[in-house]
Chains A and B, each alone.
Chain A
Amino acid sequence: MVTIWWGVLGLLLGGYFALAGYDYGVGMLLPVLSRDEAGQRRVLGAAGPFFLANEVWLVAAVGVLFGAFPQLEGRVFAGAYVLVVLLLLGLVTFTAAVQLRSRNPEGNRRGWTFAITTGALVTAVSWGLFLGNLVRGLPLDAQGRPVDDVLALFSPYAVLWGLGFVALFCLQGLVFLAVRGPADLAGRVRRLTRSFLLPVGVFLVAATAWGAFSGGSWAALAVAAVAFAAYLTVLFGLQRPRWALPAAMLLSACPALLAGVLRFPVVLSSGAGYQLTVDQAATTPEMAAVLGWFAAPALLVLVVVQWLTWRAHRRPVDEKSLLHF
């Protein structure tokens, strides 16, 4: 039962990276993709119909983390305090800026565009640092309390992940735009996609090779294999964006899944020897059952509604598209 809930958490978090990842990629590249206002609105409008439904996967994941694994939530957020703060600052800036940018027809939008780009960049770097730390082991003491050393969160391995995530989300955003983006930007999108393929490949190889020295499980190896398969699908599937897009989304979900299965059933560990297993982290079976009664139908409705939304808006943005953002 506990394992199922761990899977649900993985599904929500994986869903978040698979969906919101392209939002951040589009956000980071917004000024590069188009300089003029009409172009930038069409780029934002490509992600528009899905935007509000994407980031809430994270909110739901954190809700399940709190509800189903109350002993884990506090350890991991307090243990990576500064990174979580950076992440939230980025997320808030990005989310608010995307939603407010185009609301005033007369307003100057350069400030909002800057907020979108920086917000997305900070979000991407923070996620990389955060997950890199989880994979390496959080800097906690033997009792699982955070050590008062901010710099410990910025180990070279974590920094590699921080940079890797920027490339990863950018690539994902570009592959998304190859499907949904306006036709006149297709050439630029294709060129930019090619330039992000190498950094993402380097990140994958380096993170895997470097991480392998600290030990891993068969499940982690499987996730790594899936990541490489997804990467190759993107690499060779660029002419068929309908294949490349799901592959790029899967690729973005892989780091979070890796952090989840790496030492399972240990779900949190530190260099100082602290370990928390999934059973210790979980809530009581009664509570999990209550949660399940609400979560299962809600998730079903969501997946159906979001899939229908995708069906309705999967064509590239043209002059008849509603943009809103």
Chain B
Amino acid sequence: MDPLPIARLQFATTTSLHFLFVLLTLGLVTMVAIMQTRATLRGGEQPHRMTTFWGRLYVVNYALGIVTGIVLEFQFGMTWTGLSAFAGDVFGAPLAIETLVAFFLESTFLGVWIFGRGRMNKWLHLTVLWLVTLTAYASALFIMVANSFLQNPVGSRMENGVLRLDDFGTLFANPALTASLPHVIGAALLTGGFFVTGVSAYHFLKGTSEIDFFRRSLRIGVVTSLIGSVLVVQAGFAQFAEVAGYQPDKFTDSVAVGLPLGMMINVGFFAFFAALIGTLLLFRDRLLRARPLLVLMVPGIAVPFIAAILGWLVREIGRQPWLVWGKLRTADAVADVSGGQILFSFIAFTLLFVVLAIADGVLLARIAKRGPAVAAAETELPVLSGV
């Protein structure tokens, strides 16, 4: 059995799932941080309750981001041994820094935030949440630095058949990074914004009594969606000129790239116009009475996720057959592990992730549906919950 296609499929599945979770995590944590900032600055009960409710959803989703990320990290050594042997001296640094500086700190600070609720100075508690947010963005930065290096290996030279680092700073000025990083951040804000908007719309459709709570949430969701969609569309188009510089034939040669690309662009414009209309209708709360739009917002939660998968397909399929563009073929990087063993791990990981993703989705849906009021009165046991 040829290990290459299975190893690729395994990595693609793990990456796609991981990306979906971290996208929502990144978008949500930003909005929760803004909510807690308002609660800390101006006080008032509602921003405080919003921080708790949306923070609870964020924490659930964070768990899946971690576990898929761990499997992703190990896979470099399990199936792509040729990559570390050939480019480890360059590619390894951003990856190592991501785990040490960003991920390690993010998790530690998140623990402090969860268990510091109501027990820490409120300014310190707010600072901790912003540190969680910043380290989450730092994670995105370093991972995109690493990925951009694979797309366009700058800052390095060939020496005795392996890549050596010339200048670490060049990795950050990589044209494959400069437009794609804002694109990804825009996508995260869009995903978080659509999520908060969709959940709030659901509660209005159900005739919620928490009108003030979800009116405020809806506003933040719609405005974040607009900011995210402007960023995502603008940075998306900015990438065409950059890609032409380092992978000139990417969009002309392959139908496999063209189709998801076209779909992604359509979804992007749709999201932008939806967010724009939503923002305009925020004037005098007209959006709350536009019932057909509220109905569309609930399934709309899925839209950014679909676009995100299409986006990764465009970026990654267009790179083949290269793992490191022009330097290392994917086929030459796969480990000497038998196809049977990789097939076993692919099936096992996929099954486990699917089960966990469903459990995560069900939990998110339950917590979202229950809303803030019941959740605050959660007194089934003599137990105090951090979030």
Contacts and interface: CB of A to CB of B under 8 A. Distances in A.
A199 B104 CA distance: 34
A77 B77 contact: yes
Interface size class for chain B? 35 or more
B274 to A, nearest CB: 30
B376 to A, nearest CB: 11
Interface string B89-105: 11011011111110111
Contacts of A33: none
Given A38-B382, A302-B108, A320-B384, A67 B92 contact: yes
Contacts of B349: 85, 88-89
Contact of B115 (A37, A91, A291, A313): A313
A160 B64 CA distance: 33
A225 interface: no
A63 B105 CA distance: 13
B107 A53 contact: yes
A81 B337 contact: yes
B74 interface: yes
Interface stretch (B65-73, B205-213, B316-324): B65-73
Contacts of A41: 381, 383
A68 B96 contact: yes
Contacts of B76: 66, 73-74
B384 A85 contact: no
A209 to B, nearest CB: 32
B303 interface: no
A50 interface: yes
Contact of B89 (A70, A76, A295): A70
A37 B381 contact: yes
Contact of B63 (A75, A76, A100, A305): A100
Contacts of A313: 115
A322 interface: yes
Contacts of B98: 63
B356 interface: yes
Nearest to B110: A52
Interface in A156-189: none
Contact of A146 (B88, B165, B335): B335
Given A50-B111, A324-B385, A59 B103 contact: yes
Contacts of A67: 88, 92-93, 95-97
A322 B383 CA distance: 7
Interface of A: 37-38, 41-42, 45, 48-53, 55-60, 62-68, 70-71, 73-78, 81-82, 84-85, 88-89, 91-93, 95-96, 99-100, 102-107, 145-146, 148, 150, 283-284, 286-287, 290-291, 294-295, 298-299, 301-302, 305-306, 309, 312-313, 319-324
- In the A-B complex, the 4 residue pairs with the closest CB atoms: A70-B88, A67-B96, A63-B99, A74-B81
